[in-house]
Structure 1
C-alpha cells in the first residue's frame, strides 16, 4: 500500500484523514523471540518420552508420566512416577508419541528402563534418575534423540520469567505449553509457575526460552504448578554414595 492510500475515516467529519504513523511497536511486554526458538524447542522435544507403567494387580491398566534424557542412557523423571527399581523394571519410555509436522501419528520408539544399571531416587525432592536400555543396533537413546545438558548452578530463574513445559498431559501425545507461562514464586528447592499441566505431565522438563532446563515438573499447588530446581537435584546427587556405573554416567552427563 502506498503512503498516499494510508487513510482512515474520521468519525468527526466523515472525511478520509491520513493514517498517522506511530513509533510504538511493542504492546505490553516484548514477546518477540528469535525464530530459532522453534527449531531449538523441536530439538528439545526429541529428548522427551511418555513413560508407561503397568498398574500392579490390574491387568490391562497402565499409568503415565513423562521423562527426559539427561545423559546418553539416563532419564530424569519424578519419584512418584518411578518410585523404586521394581516399578521401573516394568516401565517403558515411548519416544515420538506425538503428531508429526503433517498432523499424523509419528513412529513411536519404545525403550525399556534399566534400573539394574542405574537407579537413583529421592522422595522429598521427587526425582528419579534411571538408565535406559540401548536401542536396536546398540546405539544409546541420547546419541539418537539428543540430550538435555543440565546447568547445575544455583540461582537459575527469576520472577516473571517465561517458562515452557513439554510432556504428555493425561498420557496424550506430546504437547507443549509455551503461552502465558511465568514464574510466580522462587523457593529454595522449587519454583512455581502458571503453566497449564495435567496428570501425566509429571516428570516434564520446565525450560526457559533458551531451552535450558530450570526444573523438573512435579505437581500442582494452590494457584500454580510446581517444579523441583535442577540445581537442587544436582546437589543431592553429588552427595550420594554412587556405584561406579552411576558415577561414570553422571560424570559424562556433566552432573558430577
Structure 2
C-alpha cells in the first residue's frame, strides 16, 4: 500500500476499549465459562433469556418452564437456508470510505448503508462535515458524500451518519434491541482490513461482552475496519466496528505480535490484537431518533424488498438479411471494468475454510 494511504486507527478509542477489557476481565471470563458449561440461565438471567427467545419467535407456552436443557433443545443447530444469500446482499451495502486531506494523505475506513441514501461509519473516519465534503464512498462505483443534505456526528459514541449522492438498492437493518445477540453468539463482519479488498468474516468470532453502549467480540481485524458492520446470524447489524483491542502486559503496555512492547509510532499492524469493540447498534439507533428529524430517517424502517432478476426469452422476429455493418464509431471515452474481490471465511463445526 502506498505510504500516502493511511488506514483509520483511533488511539483514544483503542486505549478506552483496552481499559474496559482489562477492568471487566474477571466478569467476562466467568460469564463465558457459564455459557461453555451450558448454564445459560445463570449466564444471562432468566428474564433476558425469555425476552430473547420471544424475540426469536418462540411462543410463550414453550417458554413457560424454561430450563438450560430446554433452552438447548430449542436452539437451531443449522443455519437458515438463505444465510449465504443474506450475507451476499448485506455485503453489497458495505463500501470503502476514502478521505483525502489537503496534505495529500488519504485515510481509508469502512462504511455501510442504513437506508437507500444514508451511510454510517465512525467519527474517526468522518469527524466533520468538512472531512465528508472531500470524501468518497466506494460502493461498487464511487459515490460523493452530501453532508449539506444530512450530516450527524456523535463523538461521544463515535459514529457518523451522512447522506450520499444518488441511492443504493442495498442497505442494512440496525438491531433495535440488545436481545438481538448474546454472549457466546457468533458474529459476522464485512470490512476492508488495511483499506485493501473487501473481506467477509462468517461465524469466525463470537460476542464475549455486552456493555451499556458497546459490544466486544473476539477475532482479529486491522486498521481500515473502522466503521464495518457487525452482524448476527439474521444479518441484522448489532454493532459498528470501532477499534481492535491489543494484548497488554500487567503494566498496561501494548504488546507486539512477535515479542516486546509496542511503542507509539510503531506500525499498528505489529500489535497483538486479541479482540474488538463496536458501538452498539441499538444505542446508535436511539441517538439518531433523538437527533433532528429528517425525511431520510423514514427509509431506515421500510422493509427491504428482495427482487429476483428473471431472464425472459426474447421474441422471435423475422428480419431481412443484415446490411453491411457501418464503420466503427470513433472511440470517444474510456471503458473501466472494476473487479471487486470478495474473500469469505467460514467456520463450521470448528473447521475454517475460505470461499
TM-score by length of 2: 0.54
Size of the aligned set, in residue pairs, is: 201
Mapped contact 1:171–1:200 kept (Cα < 8 A): yes
Question: Which protein is richer in helix relative to its size?
Answer: 2
What is aligned with 1:40? 86
Gaps of 5+ in 2: 1-74, 247-273, 303-355
Q: Note the C-alpha offset of 1:154.
A: 3.8
Gaps of 5+ in 1: 1-28, 97-108, 135-139
Mapped contact 2:215–2:239 kept (Cα < 8 A): yes
1:179–1:153 Cα change, 3 Å: closer
- Answer with 169-178 or 34-43: which moved more: 34-43
2:108 to 43, 64, 72: 64
Q: Note the C-alpha offset of 1:150.
A: 2.2
**In structure 2, what is the Cα distance between the partners aligned to 1:38 and 1:73?**
25
Q: Note the C-alpha offset of 1:153.
A: 2.7
1:53 to 99, 104, 112: 99
Per-residue CA deviations over 1:95-151 (Å, capped at 9, x if unaligned) read 13xxxxxxxxxxxx11001100000011121100000011xxxxx22x3xx111223
What is aligned with 1:173? 197
1:249 to 293, 296, 305: 296
Mapped contact 1:177–1:196 kept (Cα < 8 A): no
Give the secondary-structure state (helix, strand or coil) at the position aligned to 1:180. strand
Aligned-residue Cα RMSD (Å) equals 1.9
1:58-97 mapped onto 2 (5 Å cutoff): 58=104, 61-96=105-140
1:251–1:30 Cα change, 3 Å: closer
Q: Note the C-alpha offset of 1:30.
A: 8.3
Mapped contact 1:165–1:195 kept (Cα < 8 A): no
What is aligned with 2:186? 162
TM-score by length of 1: 0.74
Mapped contact 2:180–2:232 kept (Cα < 8 A): no
Q: Note the C-alpha offset of 1:50.
A: 0.5
